[in-house]
Every structure is written in structure tokens, then in C-alpha cells.
Structure 1
Amino acid sequence: MKQIAILGSTGSIGTSTLDIIEKYPERFSVAALAAGKNMDAVLEQCLRWRPRVVSVATEELAEKTASRLKQSGLQEVEVVYGTEGTVRVATLPEVDFVVSAIVGVAGLEATYAAVRAGKAIGLANKEALVAAGEILVREARAANVPLLPIDSEHNAVHQCMRAGEKSEVRRIWLTASGGPFRTLPLDRFDSITVEQALRHPTWVMGRRITIDSATMLNKGLEIIEACRLFDLPPSAVKVTIHPQSTVHSLVEYIDGSILAQISVTDMRLPILYAMSYPERVASDLRFDMAALGQLCFEPPDFDRFPCLRLAYEAAEKGGAHCIALNAADEIAVEAFLNKSIPFTGIARTIEEVLEATPEAHPATIQEVLASDKRARELAREALCRAGNAAVSDAR
């Protein structure tokens, strides 16, 4: 029986993980949960799963949560909060497997602490590997701790790479749907609205990742993730546009063989794979072979998706540039969602921040967080300059 801790239990990955645990009660149980500010959802999860520890965002929320749990007869649940609380959840002695699914760098310290505590990790958090992958991977390999990807693309690569030795891999191919603007004329990109950008053709996701899919910055982050997870140079990580989203990734071997992983577009499958590894567990997640009637693949257009080009450049430099890529994107996407900048302003902001970022390779999590903070400041300064320029042009 694997004892599971979930970082980000009320998000989509967290709730999908709980669905898997409910489906396989003989294999998995909930040991600890870390959530954010959705107290009603946290209380519901505690009543259903009775974790030993639950972490929430703030001290005030922790007090309210503890009081309501006591009223419900669950005073045995330890309620903690903030970064220290999330670390407590991730390092609880009885935990065997940690699902890291907190969006952004908020879950970075807890994920790092879990690695150092020897916990197997299911990574659904792009930002942790992008910002601190050099540190996390080094620590995990030194401690022989498995980092198992939950992202569908990297999970697919992991599955395909079980067919051969690392030395036999020529390159990997990450598939991308191309988002909602794959065929939109370039001269219309400046007029893209928030509502249009949030209409993803395949997946239902959070607002930031949906915008990242529209700019293909999400695929750029995945390039960096792949380099770190599979110890490959950026030149060996390719992206192909695959609108059907049926093939999740491919691995090309030195003899010319290409293996593809195909499955339903349901995140419960990669979660189950990671939690069960190295076993494969029977499931009812069936793929309809009729969906293979048409498979299209095409190269990405870097003029249409400049964020992808910027990601390759950051991947080549590593360190602070990868941190800056993610941080600047988060600030720029927020500005676009608030309708402060046009869609094309996202890539311009990221590029400006990357140009202002010196080459460096943070050696500690604290240095990573400091680099992240500086990149966010640079992004806000770039947005301020862009806003002032727009006002000046209007005059």
C-alpha cells in the first residue's frame, strides 16, 4: 500500500489523483494533502480521505479549517499552513510517493524537500523543473530518488524509453496541438482577444496554461523539462505540431525506429502510470482506435510562435535564463489576461527580460527564488515601459 501526499490537492491534477486513489483502494491511500485557499474543497477532501496532515495557504485559513474539522469530529487531522506546511506534507515520514502539482514556483521548496527526504516524486509541475531542474535532478540522482513525470508528453517519453537504453536514443519528439491559432494569419495576432486565446481546441485547463498553449510557451517549458528529465541536449528535443493530440510523444532510436505512445487524453492515465511504476496496472481508460483514422504532423513556425524560439535559447543557456523564461511569462500572461498588453506583447516581454538576464547557475533553492524574483521585477519594468510607450504613441 503506497501512502500518497498530494501538493495541490484541490487542483485538476490533485482531484484526478484522488480519483485514482479511490479506484485502487487496495494500492493507494491518502497520507497528507496540501491545498491553497479553497477551504470548502479542503474540508470536503479531509472528510472523505482523513489525511494525517493538511496544509492550507495562510495561518488564518489554518485556524478556520482546524475549527471546522473539530466541529466535524476530525480533530486528529493536523492543520498547517504556508511553505513550511507544504514542506511538512511532502516530508511526512510515512509518505511513499509525492504528487507535486502546485502551479508555479510555490511548490518548489516542498518538492526539493521531498527529494532530499528520499520520497519518490510524481512531477506535474513544469515550473519546478524549469526553474530548479538542475538542482532537483542532481539531488534526485545522488539520492537515487525517482522523478516520474506526470505531464502527458514526458510521461509518454518515459514509457517509450523503457524499450531501449539511454545511449540508443537519437532524439525525442514532443507533440503539440498548435493551440487555437495554428492557422490564423500572422497579421491578425495583434488583435487576438483573451476570450479567443482561452478557447483551446483539445484540452480544458487553467487560464495560464491555456494561454501558454496558445503561445506555445508551454511546449518551450516542456523542452527544458525533457532536457533535464532525460539528460538530453536541446538539439535532441524536437517539437512537432499534431492537431489530433492522439500521439502524446515519440522517441526515435539510433537504428531509425520510432516509438509513439498513444492513449486517451485523460490525465488519470499518466498519474496512474507514475504512481504504479515500475508496474503497469489494469484500468478502464480505453483508447478508441477509430481516432487513428487521420494523423497529421508538421513543423512549428517560429515566426508564429516566437516563445518556442525563446525557450530553445533559454534551454541552451540554462540556469538563470530558464528561470527568467518562466517568471517573465507568468507576469506577461497575467498582463494579457488583464487586457493590459496584446497577445504579441507576451513574447516581447519575455524576450526583453531574457536579454537583461545575466548568465548564472543558481546553486541553491534560495538562489533560484531570488533569481525568479528579479526576473519578475524585470518583467514588470518591461510592461511599465511598454505601457508608457503606448500612452506616448496615443498622444
Structure 2
Amino acid sequence: MKKIAILGSTGSIGTSTLSICESFPDRYLPIALAAGTNLEVAFAQAVQWRPQLLSIATEELADTLRQRLSAEGITGIEIVWGTPGTVAVATHPAVEFVVSAIVGVSGLEATYAAVQAGKTIGLANKECLVAAGDLIISAAREKNVALLPIDSEHNAVHQCMRGGAANEVKQVWLTASGGPFRNTPATDFAAITPAQALKHPTWVMGQRITIDSATMMNKGFEVIEACRLFDLPPAQVRVTVHPQSTVHSLVEFIDGSILAQISVTDMRLPILYALAYPERPASNLTFDLASLSHLDFAQPDLARFPCLRLAYEAAAASQASCIALNAADEIAVAAFLAHQIPFLGIPATIERVLELTPAARPASIPDVLAADRAARVCAAEVIAGRA
């Protein structure tokens, strides 16, 4: 029985992880959960799973949750809150495996603490490696901690990498659906609305990641994450537009062989792979081979999707640039959703923030968080026209 902690238990990855726990009750037991602000879902998870420890976003929510559990006669669950609570969940002494699925840099401190505590990590938070990849990878090597990717593309690369040695890899290919504007004329981009950008053709996701898919920034973050996870330079991490989203990634070896990972578009499969690694337990997540009748691949247009270009440039520049890339994108996406800037204002804001960011390599997590805050202020000033 593997005892697990879930950072972001009320989100899509968190609930999918709990679904895997339901399907494999003899294998996985969630004993520590870190929720966000969704009190109702956190309460339901506490009632169903009776974890030893549950963290929620604020002290007020923690008090309310304690009262509700007490009214139901449920005891034995320690309720904590905020970042210290999330860190406590990630470092719970009995936990063996931590699923890191908090969106953004909010989960950075807890994920780093879990690595320092020697926990195996199932990583679904790409922003952790974008903002602090050097520190996390270095700590993981020092503590001999496995970082197992849950993002479907990196999970696919991890699976394909088992087909050869690291020095036999020529390059990896991350597939991208192309988002809702894959075939939209570039002349129409200036008029794209938030409602249009939130209509993803394949996946149902949160608002920020859906907009990031529309700009292809999400794929840019994945390029940086792949560089960190697989110790590759940006030039060896390629992107190909694959609208069917059937092939999740490919690994090309120096002898010319290319291995591709194909599966259903269901996040439970990469979660199960990470939880069970190196085993492959039987599941009902089967794939219909008849759907392979048509597969398309195309080179992404960096002129139409400059966010992907900016991500490659940040990856080649410095860790500070990667921090600024993520922070500026989050501020710009929020401004776009609030109708404060147009769709093309997202890459324009990010590019300006990158121009204003000096090269640096933060030496600690507090340094990373300070750089993140500075980049957010800079992005807000750019949007306000004050930079």
C-alpha cells in the first residue's frame, strides 16, 4: 500500500488521482491532502477519505472545515492552512509519494520541501520546473529523489526514454493540439475574444492553461520543463502540431528510430503510470486503434504564436528569464480575460518584461519567489503603460 499526498486535491489532477485511488484501493491510500479555496469539495474529500492531514487555503476556511467535520462527528483529521499547511502535507512523515498539482508557483515551496524530505514526486505542476528547475533538479539529485512527470507530454517522453540510453537520444518531440486558432488567419488574431480563446478543441482545463494553449505558451512551458527533466538543451526539444492529440510525445534516437507514446486522452493514465512506476498495472484505460486512421503533424508557426518563440529564448537565456516568462504570462492572461488587453497583448507584455529582466540565477526558493513578485509588478506596469 503506497501512502500518498496530493497538493491540489480539489483540482482536475487531484480529483483524477483520487479516482485512481478508488480504482486501486489495495495499492494507493491518500493520507494527506492540500486543497485550495473549494471548501465544498475539500469537505467531501475529508468525509470520503478521512486523511490524517488536510490543508486548505485560509485560516477562516480551516475553522469552517473543522466545524463542519465536527458537526458530522468526524474526528482524527488534522486541519491546517496556507503555505505552511501545504508544506506540512508535502512532508508528512508517513507519505511516500507526493502528487504536485497546485497551479502556478503557489505549490513551489511545498514541492521543494517534499524533494528535500526525500519523497518521490509525481509532477503535474510545470511552473515549478519553469521557475525553479535548477534548484529542484539539483535537490532531487542530491536526495536521490525520482521526479516522475504527470503532464501527458512529459509522461510520454519518460515512457519512450525507457527504449534507450540517455546518450542515444537525438531529440524529443512534444506534440501540441494547436489550440483553437491553429487555422485562424493571423490577420484575425487582433480580434480574438476571451470566449473564443477558452474553447479548446481537445481538453477541458482551467482558464489560464486554456488561454496558454491558445497562445502556445503552455507548450513553451513544456519545452522548458522537458529541458530540466531530461537534461536536454532547448535545441533538442522540438514541438510538432498534432491536432488529433493521439500521439502524446515522441523520442527520436541517434540511430534514426522514433518511439511514440499513444493512449487515450485521459489524465488518469499518466497519473497511474507515475504512481505505479516502474510497474504497469492493468487498467480499463484502453485505446481504440481504429482512431489511428488519420494522423497529422506540422511545424508550429512561431510568427503567429510568438509565445512559443519567447519560451525558447527564455530557456536559452537564464533562470531569471524563465521566472519572468511564467510570471508575466500569468498577469497578461488575467488582463486579457478581464478585457484589459487584446489577445496579441499577451505576447507583447511578456516580451517587454523579458527585455526588462536581467540575467540571473536565483540561489534559493525565496530568491525565486522574490524574482517572481518583481516580474509580476513589472508586467502590471507594462500593461498600465508605465514601463
Distance in 2 between the 1:7 and 1:101 partners?
5
* Matched residue, 1:50: 50
* Matched residue, 1:74: 74
* Matched residue, 1:266: 266
Structure 2 SS opposite 1:180: coil
Contact conserved, 1:66 with 1:75, CA < 8 A, in 2?
no
Two-structure CA RMSD over aligned residues (Å)? 0.8
* Offset, 1:73: 1.7
* Offset, 1:72: 1.4
Distance in 2 between the 1:74 and 1:254 partners?
58
Structure 1 SS opposite 2:239: strand
Q: Deviations over 1:104-160 (max 9, x none)?
A: 100100000000000000000011110011100000011110000000000000000
Structure 1 residue runs of 4 or more that deviate by more than 2 Å after TM superposition: none
* Matched residue, 2:185: 185
* Offset, 1:9: 0.4
**Is residue 348 of structure 1 aligned with residue 345 of structure 2?**
no
* Offset, 1:68: 1.0
Q: How does 1:25-36 map to 2 (within 5 A)?
A: 25-36=25-36
* Matched residue, 2:291: 291
Distance in 2 between the 1:158 and 1:258 partners?
14
* Offset, 1:247: 0.2
* Matched residue, 1:391: none
* Matched residue, 1:96: 96
Q: Deviations over 1:7-36 (max 9, x none)?
A: 000000000000000000000001100001
* Matched residue, 2:209: 209
Structure 1 SS opposite 2:385: helix
TM-score (norm 2): 0.99
Structure 1 SS opposite 2:221: helix
Q: How does 1:294-313 map to 2 (within 5 A)?
A: 294-313=294-313
Distance in 1 between the 2:28 and 2:383 partners?
46
Amino acid at match of 1:62: A
**Is residue 111 of structure 1 aligned with residue 111 of structure 2?**
yes
Distance in 2 between the 1:135 and 1:25 partners?
35
Q: How does 1:166-181 map to 2 (within 5 A)?
A: 166-181=166-181
* Matched residue, 2:62: 62
Structure 1 SS opposite 2:64: helix
* Offset, 1:197: 0.4
Distance in 2 between the 1:318 and 1:139 partners?
19
* Offset, 1:369: 0.1
Matched-pair identity in %? 67
* Matched residue, 2:129: 129
* Offset, 1:171: 0.3
* Matched residue, 1:370: 370
Q: Deviations over 1:334-392 (max 9, x none)?
A: 00000111000000000000000000000100000000000000100000008x9xxxx
Gaps of 5+ in 1: 389-395
* Offset, 1:74: 1.8
Structure 1 SS opposite 2:376: helix
* Matched residue, 1:337: 337
Distance in 2 between the 1:102 and 1:354 partners?
25
Contact conserved, 1:96 with 1:120, CA < 8 A, in 2?
yes
Amino acid at match of 2:89: V
* Matched residue, 1:328: 328
Distance in 2 between the 1:325 and 1:73 partners?
47
* Matched residue, 1:235: 235
* Offset, 1:83: 0.3
* Offset, 1:253: 0.2
Size of the alignment, in residue pairs? 387
Amino acid at match of 2:65: T
Amino acid at match of 2:66: A
* Matched residue, 1:40: 40
Q: Deviations over 1:234-256 (max 9, x none)?
A: 00000000010000000000000
Structure 2 SS opposite 1:113: helix
Amino acid at match of 1:358: P
* Offset, 1:318: 2.7
Q: How does 1:125-164 map to 2 (within 5 A)?
A: 125-164=125-164
Distance in 2 between the 1:369 and 1:152 partners?
27
Contact conserved, 1:126 with 1:225, CA < 8 A, in 2?
yes
TM-score (norm 1): 0.97
Structure 2 SS opposite 1:80: strand
Distance in 1 between the 2:107 and 2:269 partners?
23
